[in-house]
Amino acid sequence: MTNDRAASLLFLASGAYGLYFSVQLPMGTWNQPGPGIFPAVLSFLLLLSGAAWFIRGKGKQRAADEGGRRGAIAVAKNLATPLKIVGLTALFVLSFNLVGYLLAASLYLFILLLWVSRYGIAFSAVLAGAIGLASWIFFGKILAVPLPQGFLPF
């Protein structure tokens, strides 16, 4: 399966989802257009363009769309690092309302530097602490941006 086909499946799925839920909404009349009509038409067009793309995605190799025709294997390659980052970020978001911004952010930076960037423990800890504190002062205190607070005052 080519990348284009995989992408078109996503479009088809979104179109089907959109159509399924929008036909349940009132369509209204010409002088009182309802909430369903616009999303329903869009979902239909999305399905149509997705289908067209699915069929075309089968074609032979062409230079212009080289990226799209690379096999699915290339896309699945090198997923480890991005996966780590996404997971860590999710953990950070989940934890900062509990332990507060300063602690959560410093820890988040520390693990990123240690595990993803592969710096030494001491260097990572110092840098993470410094950036965490600096961002807390800059955003929270100087810019007065609301930062998440945990049970601690910072």
- Supply the minimum distance, in Å, between the C-beta of residue 18 and another protein: 5
CB closer to another protein out of 100 and 113: 113
Rounded to whole angstroms, the Cα distance separating 15 from 113 reads: 40
Which residue in 34, 98, 120, 121 binds another protein (CB under 8 A)? 34
142 binds another protein (CB under 8 A): yes
Beta bridge partners, 28, equal 33
Q: Which residues contact 8 (CB under 8 A, 6 or more apart)?
A: 50, 51, 53, 54, 57
Which residue in 91, 133, 148, 150 binds another protein (CB under 8 A)? 148
Rounded to whole angstroms, the Cα distance separating 23 from 17 reads: 10
121 binds another protein (CB under 8 A): no
62 binds another protein (CB under 8 A): yes
